[in-house]
Amino acid sequence: MVDAQSRLRRQLSRRALLKVGLLVPMTMACGGSTSGEAPRLAAASENTTLGPGDLFRMEIVGEPDLPTEFQVAADGTVTFPYIHEMKVAGLEPQEVSQRVRQGLIEKKILTDPSVVVSVTEYRSKMVTILGQVQKPGSFPLSPGMTLLQAVSMAGGFTAIAQKSRVNLSRIKDGKATTVVVNVESIYQGKDEDISLQSGDRIYVHERVF
């Protein structure tokens, strides 16, 4: 009888150890991104259409005396030399270039102009960074802006910022997703920087002492 009870206790002990052994890898798999894996975030959309407030540069090859810096007005228009007012809101930079070129030809200003348009700042598209940064707020999205660049625009982290726990929220196809990013790992080159899109919201937590 004693031997039977001893065998039963040993079997129960082995089962308990087996359960613990199974739980350890499961817990590790469900934990944070300590393995350096990239956050599961939808890729940033590349919406490059112009909107009110956006700044862009336009160069007409061979015409150095013409203005080169332009800003889209609140009604979505821009006033160009010779062409006058043109609606550009909702257009891609190359579409603006094509329309300006066509306008110059139609008005017989130039016969075969080469027009280059490049956006310098998307003020109609913003990203927001709050929490433990020097200058929290909303900032214009510049072409190719990344998470580290947004932190830099906000003046960098405060002394009590928890760089390993930065929330990044993004809306994609009407669905909002928030991930936790270890920015310290990005600084160290262990993880890749993250490209931002219009409407992204960043929150930097405070360190727990």
* Residue 103 domain flag: yes
* CATH number (domain holding residue 88): 3.30.1950.10
Domain span at residue 132? 124-206
Say whether both 108 and 162 belong to one domain.
no
Can you give 61-98 as a three-state secondary structure string? CCCCCCCCEEECCCCCEEEECCCEEEECCCCCHHHHHH
* Residue 30 domain flag: no
What integer is the mean pLDDT of 94-112? Answer: 95
Amino acid in position 134: Q
* Residue 17 domain flag: no
Angle at 84 between CA 79 and CA 88, to 5 degrees: 50
In the chain, the number of structural domains is 2
Give per-residue pLDDT as tens, 167-178: 999 998 888 899
Q: Is residue 27 predicted with pLDDT exceeding 60?
A: no
* Residue 192 domain flag: yes
pTM of the entire predicted model? 0.68
* CATH number (domain holding residue 144): 3.10.560.10
